[in-house]
Amino acid sequence: MDSQLLVNIGVGVVLAVGGWIGRELWGAMQAMRVDIQRIQIDLPSTYLRRDEFAAGLREIKEMIVGIYTKLDTMNERKADK
């Protein structure tokens, strides 16, 4: 066998394997881009937004203030007796 033929076969095999790996990586990157895009679209609708969280905390704080006010008035009435 001619040495040039062996080199050509070796380079061909290496390039074929490299091409296959490159194609697999390209497909994986495309799938990952689609997944990331889907996550970016679904994320705001799935998780609690910061302003919604603040509004919920505000309501809870108002209820706690109402409870403390009621307890204070009950203590004042009890102290008056």
Q: Are residues 53 and 41 in the same domain?
A: no
Q: Which helix (H) or strand (E) holds 13?
A: helix 3-46
Q: Are residues 30 and 63 in the same domain?
A: no
Structure tokens at 67: 């409870």
Domain extent, residue 9, equals: 1-47
Model's pTM, two decimal places? 0.49
Q: Are residues 18 and 43 in the same domain?
A: yes
Instruction: Quote the CA–CA distance of 34 and 58 in Å, as a whole number.
Output: 38
Angle formed at CA 64 by CA 60 and CA 69, multiple of 5 degrees: 150
DSSP state of 48: P
Q: Are residues 39 and 65 in the same domain?
A: no
Q: Are residues 58 and 42 in the same domain?
A: no
**Sequence letter at residue 25:** L
Q: Are residues 6 and 29 in the same domain?
A: yes
pLDDT digits (tens, 9 = 90+) for 30-76: 999 999 999 888 877 777 888 889 999 999 999 999 999 999 888 88
Q: Are residues 40 and 5 in the same domain?
A: yes
pLDDT at 69: 92
